[in-house]
Every structure is written in C-alpha cells, then in structure tokens.
C-alpha cells in the first residue's frame, strides 16, 4: 500500500513549487531595466519556491534561475557599453553580435564585451566615425576567430593580443602565429608587408604606435 504521509508531502511540495515558480515567472516577465533590481525581485519570488520543498528539487531550480538572471545582467551591461560608445550605430553592433556565434564562434555578450574593450581606440583613429568603427570592430572579431581556427591558438590569447595592440603593446603579436615576433619593429614589418599603407608611409619601430588601430586591424 502507498505511504500516504509521503504522498501528502509530495502534494505539499508540488503546491509550493507551482506557486513559487508562478511568482518567479511573473517576476521574470516584468523585469525592470536595472539588472540589480531584477535580481532582488526574482530572488524574493524564488524564496517561495523553496518553501515546503526538498533541497534536491529546490537547488537546481534556484541555480538555474540565478544563472539566467546573471546572463541577463551581463547582457544588459554589454548593451549599455555598446550604446554609450557607438551611439546611433549601436544597433549595427548589436545586430552583428546576434550572428557572432555562427560567424566567429563567440556568444553575443562576449562579442560586445570584446568590441567594447578596444572600440574607444578604433573610434579615435576614425575620428569618431561610429559606422566605420562598427565595421572594423566586426572585422577584428571575425579575424580573431579565423586565426584561432587556422592555428589552434586559444581564442583568449588572441583577444588579449588585440587588446594589447589597441594600447600600443605588441608583445603578444607572436600569439597570432603569423611569423612575426612580439616587438614594435615586428609589428611595423607586418604593417609594411601587408601593403595597407600603399607605400605612402613606412612603419617603423618608432612610429608604429602612432598608426591608427583600424589600420593595424586591416594589416
């Protein structure tokens, strides 16, 4: 025969779970713009999920919702940075981020975070032209992925190399495995051999830091 005390306990757990998840769902559907507010709002709702439930049911649910809200917070922050830097062209960058997984093997949030990490330098070199900056930023992200796929280099190392280039630090140039060492002279050699300057200017170890970042991306 069934143990009616166990059945009653399961019914109670189910009732608390249904009520709690319903409240959590309502909270998620009505998320405020602030991610921190969202965390508090959903966190309060999730407390009722745990009421009367066993730990083995509650823990995965709470962990899942917490991870979802963290992703929401990361996305909100990434979009905020893009909107601040790219202004009227922000929608282009965000749109590019949505297809980044297929084109560059990175998530949309990672795409926007990487773009944000060097976009100020790109914009400076382009005189604040956000349309062109969005194009060069996308090219840089896709090139990073292509390099990683061709040479098997960890994408994180390549991303850090590009971030260094944006700051005039070329010590990680050899991370790209293109046959150039990590020095200013070697970056100058890469730029000259790439032909992006069309022979109008010769890059040297002394002036390579003055070359706009968009030109380095093209090289």
Task: Provide mean pLDDT across the span 38-61.
Answer: 54
pLDDT in tens, 190-216: 999 999 998 888 999 999 999 999 999
Q: What confidence tens digit (pLDDT) does each residue in 135-147 have?
A: 999 999 999 999 9
pLDDT confidence bin for 27, thresholds 50/70/90: low
- Are 138 and 86 in contact by the 8 Å Cβ rule? The answer is no
pLDDT for 38: 55
Q: What is the pLDDT of residue 44?
A: 56
Per-residue model confidence as pLDDT tens digits over 139-187? 999 999 999 999 998 999 999 999 999 999 999 999 999 999 999 999 9
Predicted TM-score (pTM) of the model is 0.69
In eight-state DSSP terms, residue 176 is: G
- Whether residue 219 is predicted with pLDDT greater than 80 in this model: the reply is yes
pLDDT confidence of residue 9: 45
Over the chain, what is the mean pLDDT? 80
- pLDDT tens, position by position, 66-124: 565 666 667 788 898 899 999 999 999 999 999 999 999 999 999 999 999 999 999 99
Q: Tell me what pLDDT residue 67 has.
A: 60
Distance, in Å, from the CA atom of 148 to the CA atom of 135, rounded to the nearest integer, reads 20
> In percent, how much of the chain has pLDDT > 70?
67
Q: Mapping DSSP to helix (H, G, I), strand (E, B) and coil, where does residue 201 land?
A: coil
| CB atoms inside a 10 Å sphere around CB 93 | 26
Query: Would you state the pLDDT for residue 59?
Result: 56
The residue with tokens 């999730």 is 46
Closest C-alpha to 77, from 21, 38, 121:
38
């Amino acid at each position: 025969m069934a143990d009616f005390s166990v059945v009653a306990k399961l019914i109670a757990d189910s009732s608390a779970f249904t009520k709690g998840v319903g409240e959590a769902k309502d909270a998620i559907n009505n998320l405020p713009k602030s991610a921190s507010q969202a965390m508090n709002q959903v966190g309060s709702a999730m407390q009722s999920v745990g009421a009367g439930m066993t730990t083995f049911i509650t823990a995965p649910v709470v962990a899942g919702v917490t991870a979802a809200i963290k992703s929401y917070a990361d996305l909100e922050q990434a979009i905020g940075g893009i909107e601040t830097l790219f202004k009227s062209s922000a929608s282009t960058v965000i749109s590019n981020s949505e297809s980044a997984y297929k084109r560059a093997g990175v998530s949309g949030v990672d795409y926007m975070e990487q773009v944000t990490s060097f976009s100020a330098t790109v914009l400076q070199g382009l005189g604040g032209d956000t349309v062109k900056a969005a194009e060069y930023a996308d090219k840089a992200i896709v090139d990073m992925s292509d390099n990683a796929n061709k040479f098997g280099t960890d994408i994180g190392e390549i991303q850090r190399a590009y971030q260094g280039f944006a700051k005039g630090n070329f010590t990680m140039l050899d991370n790209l495995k293109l046959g150039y060492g990590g020095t200013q002279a070697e970056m100058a050699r890469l730029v000259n051999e790439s032909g992006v300057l069309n022979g109008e200017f010769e890059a040297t170890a002394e002036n390579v830091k003055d070359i706009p970042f968009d030109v380095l991306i093209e090289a």
